[in-house]
Amino acid sequence: MSVHSLTAASASRTDPVRVLEEMKRLAVEQLGALPHALAQAVEKTLQSTAGGPSYEEQTALALLRQNGASHVMRFRQQIATGFDEFRGASSITGGDRLDLVGEQQLDLHLTGQRLSDMLEQRYQRPLEVMKQRLDAVASALGAHVGSNPVAPARLVSAFIETYAETGLPAAFNGVMFRQYQLALGRVLDELYVRINAMLATAGYGQDVNARRAAPQTTTPSTRAWLGEQVEARASAPPVRSAAPDGHGESAAPPVVSSRLVAELAGLRAQLHARRNPDAAAMHTGAPAPARPLPVRDVATIASVLQSEPPDAYARALAAPGRLSDAIRDQMLDGARRLGLGNDRVCLGEQEEDAIDLVSMLFESLFRTHALQDRARRLYARLVLPYVKVALAGDALFVQTQHPARRLLDAMTEACEDNDGSTPQDRELLERASAVSQRIVAEYHEDLAIFELAHAELEALLVQQRRRGELQESRAAKATFGRERLAQARASADAALDALLSRAPITAAVAEFLSAPWRHHLVQTLLRDGADCERVQQIHVLGDALVNADALAAQARGRDLADCLIALQPSIVQCLGSLGLDENAARHGLAMLVRDLATPDAERRTHAVVPLAGDEPANDDPRLCLAGGTATVPHDPGVAAMIRRLQPGEWMRLIDAQGEATSVKIAWVSPLTSRLLLVNRRGMRVLVAAPEELAAMVGAGRLMLGGERTPFSEAMLQLRQRLDHAVGQH
């Protein structure tokens, strides 16, 4: 290289101290949680052995749990120290010491050496590339070349130093090393790629000239990142995805649904049938067939683009049917920008299937669940990670407990019907947003990140479900209370109508019966029920007042006086139910006696005026929630099926604005058989009789038989959408 080239290369490099600090931050972030995950994996491994852990192993596990926080801190400090030593920030004093080494310590170091040799061999190529670039960093610092701070030997040494003083039994150390090997391998697969990319981007290594010669449509950081992805992924061994339970290779195989396998095969056939006409038209008159990109290159492109802003996908989610086009455009443009192809490359059938399935899945989630605009960018971030999961195989679509599937369910549960109106709702949205950002930053073929992200979000969702259950209970109690009130008022109105229609009476008696007497009867019905003695006494009082009015009309003053004296305690008690004190009640009694004392007062038949109800406004103006269901046009068979539904059953409701939302039967009224439907937050959405719901089914506004999980519901809608699309062809 010429002097001019060397000068230009040096000028284009980032400050080496800054580069090392960024490397240290990344290494500590990626590796720092290993002791915590290691303790959990060791415990699960020992619990799964025949007979469970021995007493000695239980004691060791207790020590791990007790000192977990200090182990994490010590391990992170060991990682950071490696970087400080590399740049000469800390020096080793005192010279070498010759100490006696115990047998257990010697065994630890020998086991560590074997692990270090194995990892050095496995990551030989990326480590060689990293060494050249770290040498350039050391030269820029003007220091002697130090050891790689993230080399396997250094990381194994950090592990030994962290647990050396714990006093764990020798047999236990073997399990620890095995789990550390599995956990470390999962992290290093991606960490080495990212560090090599970081160094190349900063200008250290042989990629400076290559980056300068790259097409100007791509930023230097993106080009360097792609070069490192292609180089490191081609040389590194195949990546094994971690099992959700942390057991690595010893984990039980996931359960695959044979029904879902068959359905997925049918979906793929429909996708091929739908794409073939478009593909034939696209290639008509083409000079040569396009070359499909290898699946590994497609996954690499997705990894590179994963961290870029998701604006294109967010816009596509707002326009149904556009997401798959946006993904293809971004992928092919990324291939051209990164030098993996030109205008004559295309995606293979497997990659096309993955993109179509993921795009239709995400679009179906927005169609079938009330996801707010605020959630659109959150989901847009997840598009490429889920494309990568789909590219890796069919597990996402055929395993009901797949980590990525469970995370998408949790994300939808957190975001559906969530407008951030309460502090709890805002906290849930913020946690969901942080989880999506974590997936973008940390997902690189290892599914364990989905499991960790799901656990992080699930902790907050448990609290939401509890609040939802309380909200459901309050909504059911409030609805039941309104129904009991309506029933009591209907019963009181019927009794009042019988009294008022018996004979013409004075306005004073009619007013007393219509107000305090009816109110007292309603309150007693609610409090004591229809069969109690007090209700009978109130009916006797009503009959007696009508008879007293007849005595007054006949000018039978003595009989009237005796009757009113006998009724005085009941009348005062009735007036008191309105909240009047004893003096006010007696004043009301005096006014009633005064009016009855005039034999020639006007008497007429009075009509019952219904009391104003407190039932909330109808959720749907076409529904009469208070009754009249016999006149609603409906399918009796559908109504009968709805009557058999139990609380917990899910449906899909289309509201007046055409928005779909998931609703659940929270409660069925024992009085009216009406169903209370709530959303995922436990909020009341609709209360209606089976006949009214059957009418909504007939109008296409209510779909029965909804799936219990958002992912399953979205896949159901995806199948229906494909059935319709293929049928049109």
pLDDT tens sequence across 176-225: 777 787 788 778 878 888 888 888 878 886 443 333 333 333 334 333 43
What is each CA distance from 224 to 206, 209, 726, in whole angstroms? 11, 11, 43
Highest mean pLDDT among 251-260, 338-347, 540-549: 540-549
Highest mean pLDDT: which range of 6-15, 213-222, 265-274, 701-710: 265-274
Report the distance separating Cα 19 and Cα 224, nearest Å: 15
Q: How confident is the model at residue 385 (pLDDT cuts 50, 70, 90)?
A: very high
What is the phi/psi pair of residue 660, to 5°?
-90, 140
The pLDDT of residue 313 is above 80: yes
Q: Is residue 386's pLDDT more than 90?
A: yes
Q: What whole-number distance in Å separates Cα of residue 440 and Cα of residue 313?
A: 14
Taking 70 as the threshold, does the pLDDT of residue 685 lie above it?
Answer: yes
Domain for residue 436, yes or no? yes
The tokens describing 64, both together, are: 């791990």
How much is the pLDDT for 7?
41
What number is the average pLDDT over the span 597-608? 79
Could you tell me which residue, 67 or 664, shows the higher pLDDT? 664
Whole-angstrom Cα distance, residue 154 to residue 150?
6
Pick the last residue of a domain from 596, 615, 637.
596
Q: Go through the chain and tell me how many residues it has.
A: 729
Which tokens belong to 466? 């509890």
Q: Does residue 378 lie in a domain region?
A: yes
The pLDDT value recorded for residue 12 is 60
More confident residue, 286 or 386: 386
d(CA 163, CA 176): 10
The verdict on 207 and 343 lying in the same domain is no
Same domain, 385 and 490: no
Q: Residue 175: is its pLDDT beyond 70? A: yes
pLDDT tier at 2, thresholds 50, 70, 90: very low
User: Quick one: 392 and 484 in the same domain?
Assistant: no
Q: Are the beta carbons of 302 and 340 closer than 8 angstroms?
A: no
Give the model's pLDDT for residue 404.
92
What is the mean pLDDT of the segment spanning 461-474?
A: 86
- Write down the pLDDT at residue 220: 40
- Residue 702 bridge partners (DSSP): 653
Q: Give 662's strand partners.
A: 652
Centroid of chain to Cα 699? 31
CA atoms of 305 and 302, how far apart (whole Å): 5
Mean of pLDDT values over 262-272: 85
Show the tokens assigned to 124. Answer: 């030989």
Same domain, yes or no: 641 and 559:
no
Task: List Cβ neighbours of 460 (8 Å cut-off, separation of 6 or more).
Answer: 414, 427, 428, 431
Tens digits of per-residue pLDDT, 360-374? 999 988 887 878 777
503-520 pLDDT tens trace: 888 888 888 888 888 888
Residue 679 or 586, more confident? 679
| More confident of the two residues 122 and 497 | 497
Q: Phi first, then psi: what are they for 666, rounded to 5°?
A: -95, -25
In this structure, the answer to whether residues 273 and 185 fall within a common structural domain is: no
E-only strand ranges, 126-265: none
For the chain, give the mean pLDDT.
Answer: 77
Total count of domains within the chain: 4
Amino acid letter at 181? Q
Burial of 332 (0-12, 13-18, 19+ CB in 10 A): buried
Phi, psi at 163, each rounded to 5°: -110, 5
Rounded average pLDDT over 451-468: 86
More confident residue, 306 or 339: 306
CB 717 within 8 A of CB 652: no
Residues in contact with 500: Cβ distance below 8 Å, sequence separation at least 6, in sequence order: 510, 513, 514, 605, 606, 607, 608
**Residue 706: per-residue pLDDT:** 63
Look at residue 361 in the predicted model and tell me its pLDDT.
Answer: 92
Same domain? 79 vs 19: yes
Q: Residue 358 above 90 pLDDT? A: yes
Provide the pLDDT confidence category of residue 238 given band limits of 50, 70 and 90.
Answer: very low
Q: Indicate whether 630 pLDDT > 70.
A: no
Q: Say whether both 487 and 581 belong to one domain.
A: yes
Residue 583: Cβ within 10 Å count: 8
Within-domain flag for 468: no
Last residue within a domain, chosen from 574, 596, 618: 596
**CATH number, residue 696:** 2.30.30.140
Q: Strand 675-678 vs strand 291-292: parallel, antiparallel, or unpaired?
A: unpaired
The two structure tokens encoding residue 380: 């847009």
Same domain, residue pair 365 and 441: yes
Residues 584 and 702 in one domain: no
User: Higher pLDDT residue, 646 or 95?
Assistant: 646
Structure tokens at 95: 């010279």
Please state which of the ranges 109-118, 456-465, 542-551, 697-706 shows the lowest mean pLDDT. Answer: 109-118
Give mean pLDDT, residues 71-91. 78
- pLDDT band per the 50, 70, 90 thresholds, residue 728: low
- The answer on pLDDT for 383 being more than 90 is yes
Comparison of pLDDT for 617 and 612, the residue scoring more: 612
Question: Within 13 Å, how many C-alpha atoms sit on residue 664's CB side?
Answer: 19
pLDDT top residue among 105 and 37 = 37
550 has a pLDDT exceeding 90: no
Question: pLDDT at position 343, please?
Answer: 65
For residues 425-433, average pLDDT: 89
Q: In the structure encoding, which two tokens stand for residue 398, read together?
A: 């055929």
Using CA atoms, how far residue 586 sits from 515, 551, 576, in Å, is 16, 22, 9
Question: Which band of pLDDT confidence, cut at 50, 70 and 90, is reported for residue 243?
Answer: very low
Asked if the structure places residue 243 within a domain, the reply is: no
**pLDDT score of 170:** 62
Half-sphere exposure of 8 (CA within 13 A, CB side): 9
DSSP annotation of 94 reads S
> Does the structure show a pLDDT above 70 at 277?
no
Residue 260's pLDDT is: 84
Tokens of 337: 């920008």
CB atoms within 10 A of CB 394: 18
pLDDT at 727: 62
Residues 295 and 175 placed together within one structural domain of the fold: no
Amino acid sitting at position 439: I
Taking Cα atoms as reference points, which of 669, 333, 309 lies closest to residue 486?
669
Q: Is 209 contained in some domain? A: yes
Residue 6 pLDDT: 39
Rg, C-alpha atoms of the chain: 38
pLDDT average, residue stretch 617-631: 44
User: Are residues 61 and 200 located together in one domain of the fold?
Assistant: yes
pTM of the model: 0.54
Which whole number is the average pLDDT over 22-37?
84
Calpha distance 691→685 (Å, rounded): 17
Do the Cβ atoms of 151 and 192 come closer than 8 Å?
Answer: no
Contact 454, 406 (CB under 8 A): yes
Which domain does 505 fall in, by range? 477-596
Sorted by sequence, the CB contacts under 8 Å of residue 608 that are 6+ apart come out as 493, 496, 497, 500, 514
Q: Which residue has the tokens 């339970």?
A: 245
Q: Is the pLDDT of residue 166 over 90?
A: no
Distance CA(208)–CA(212), nearest Å, equals 6
Calculate mean pLDDT across residues 515-527: 88
Residues 80, 41 within the same domain: yes
Helix (H, G, I), strand (E, B) or coil at 176: helix
Residue 227 belongs to some domain of the structure: no
Q: What's the mean pLDDT in 439-459?
A: 86
- Please give the pLDDT value at position 52: 65
Section 522-546 average pLDDT: 87
pLDDT score for 631: 64
For residue 244, being part of any structural domain is answered with no
- Which residues lie below 8 Å from residue 636, measured CB to CB, with a gap of 6+? 694
Q: Among residues 166, 190, 218, which one ends one of the domains?
A: 218
Contact by Cβ (8 Å): 548, 560 = yes
Give yes or no for a contact between 224 and 197, defined as CB atoms under 8 angstroms apart. Answer: yes
CB 513 within 8 A of CB 571: no
Q: Is residue 643 part of a domain?
A: yes
Q: What is the pLDDT of residue 366?
A: 84
The Cβ of residue 216 has, within 10 Å, a number of other Cβ atoms equal to 6
